[in-house]
Amino acid sequence: MNISGSTALVTGANRGIGRHFAQQLLERGASNVYATARDPESIDLPGVEPLRLDVTDPASIAAAAAIASDVTLLVNNAGASTYQNLVTGDLDKIRLEMDTNFYGTLAMVRAFAPALAAGGGGAIVNVLSRLSWLSYPGATAYAASKAAAWSLTNGIRLELAEQGTLVTGLLLSATDTDMMAGWDIPKNDPADVVRQALDGIEAGALEVLADADTAEAKASLSEDPSVGYGELLAGAS
């Protein structure tokens, strides 16, 4: 995937990682960047084309796909985190996370896959999470939605291979964005995360692991759950 000369669309581009994606795509020579948000007036980045989009609204997605029919690079960044547990959490908030992180991503892929095919294949980046591979008290619903989005990413990669579309999963741990503002812990620089993702796209990477904690989480998948969850389970008993 050659970013220079591409036409990109970034969901949730008004802040955080999405804004960094839009900015760095411009810096790398993208010919046009559709920067989307539910409120396009909240997009303040010069040089992009603001576009209204709510990934949980099928009509909004269809309208955006009709306008941005020349997209060759789709960045599915928009996400929701409501800090709910699965057993006791608010079901409406749990559904919002799944509607945004899984169904919203799927709807975007289905809407824009024909445009990518028409443009020669192009690429899709799905912004996932270290919590795609582990769960944590207070965010078990978010982890479930991101695990589903990781599986979705693997599935659409197979389905879109015939049309030549690269599908890259970006997985990261805590990153310095509004979503993590209340957490006093070490955090990734979002600009560095995006830089790694775009380098990965240009190299044809299927996954980009943005930090050591995320790489460790993937490596631990082959271990017995008692290794990764032992301390948490002991603390709860």
CB 65 within 8 A of CB 113: no
142 is catalytic: yes
Cα–Cα distance, 231 to 126 (Å, whole number): 31
Percent of the chain as helix, strand, coil, to the nearest 5: 50, 15, 35
Which residue among 93, 136, 146, 229 is the active-site one? Answer: 146
CB 106 within 8 A of CB 56: no
The H-or-E segment that residue 170 falls in is strand 166-171
146 is catalytic: yes
CB 49 within 8 A of CB 32: yes
Question: Helix (H) and strand (E) counts for the chain?
Answer: 8, 7
CB 9 within 8 A of CB 25: no
77 phi, psi to nearest 5 deg: -105, -30
Which residue among 83, 142, 187, 229 is the active-site one? Answer: 142
- Which residues does residue 188 pair with via DSSP β-bridges, in sequence order? 175
Residues recognised as catalytic: 142, 146
